[in-house]
Amino acid sequence: MSSSAQPISRAERKKQELRREIIDAAFDCFADRGYHATGIADIAAHLGIGHGTFYRYFSNKRDIVDHVVDDLVNRITGALTAENAPDAVSTLDAYRAQSARIGEALARIFGEDPRVARLLLFDAPGIDQAMAERILDLFEVAKTLTAAYLSHGVELGYLRADLDVENTAHALNGMILASAISSLRNPDPAHQRQLSEAVRRVMYDGIAAR
């Protein structure tokens, strides 16, 4: 028997919207001031709410930074679904087009707001050991996902049969991270597109089947 989702009430929708606004305000404060220099009062003042309202949604500052990182990770992984999923293509030309779409999406995420890279790559790992481990785990997940794209290409024959999938995945992600870091000094979208194209040229020339 099929069932349909129940519509949420207006009150629940407003709660979800305020929760989203608190996360966005916290990101702004963490990115502008740094995590350790930001207090609950700063986040509340940025949004124009009282401390009590904040604590109805989050238990403390450390709690909300997890949600900020979750949001950033979701934005990144959102670029890797549907037509951009690891098994979505079957030819080298289609892989080239897919890689271009992913590169453009990541360039938008990191280029449109350089604070994303700063928070994710520099500020968050220094919060505490647990957060540092979480960011390292994120890099490991990224390596596993990149390896899935490469393994699919090897299996279908449009990437080299002798490809060292695991280490190539690490190398490709290293180039992508370097591009993200460069956005801190030069967030110009044209520069980010050029970097993305350079990374893809290395990919195609270095790993395509001959």
CATH of the domain at 126: 1.10.357.10
Cβ contact 115:180 at 8 Å? no
Mean pLDDT computed over 53-62: 90
CA distances from residue 3 to 6, 7, 8, 169 in whole angstroms, order as listed: 9, 12, 15, 42
* Residues 141 and 202 occupy one common structural domain: yes
The sign of the dihedral angle between the CA atoms of 5, 7, 8, 13 is: positive
* pLDDT at position 29: 92
Give the CATH number, domain containing residue 25: 1.10.10.60
CA distances from residue 62 to 72, 74, 88, 115, 135 in whole angstroms, order as listed: 16, 19, 38, 19, 15
* Residues 159 and 86 occupy one common structural domain: yes
* Residues 38 and 77 occupy one common structural domain: no
Hey, what are 68's tokens? 């900020």
* Residues 27 and 99 occupy one common structural domain: no
pLDDT > 90 in the chain, percent = 34
* Residues 20 and 118 occupy one common structural domain: no
Of the residues 58, 76, 96, the one at which a domain ends: 58
Q: How confident is the model at residue 1 (pLDDT cuts 50, 70, 90)?
A: very low
The reported pTM is 0.79
* Residues 85 and 36 occupy one common structural domain: no
* Residues 75 and 129 occupy one common structural domain: yes
Burial class (CB in 10 A: 0-12, 13-18, 19+), 138: middle
Mean pLDDT computed over 81-108: 89
Of the residues 22, 40, 58, the one at which a domain ends: 58
In a domain, 203, yes or no: yes
pLDDT over 90 at 210, yes or no:
no
In a domain, 183, yes or no: yes
In a domain, 3, yes or no: no
* Residues 108 and 189 occupy one common structural domain: yes
Mean pLDDT computed over 56-81: 86
N residues, the chain: 210
Give me the domain span that covers residue 114. 65-207
Encode pLDDT of 171-205 as tens digits. Answer: 989 988 888 888 777 777 777 778 878 887 777 77
* pLDDT at position 128: 93
* Residues 21 and 100 occupy one common structural domain: no
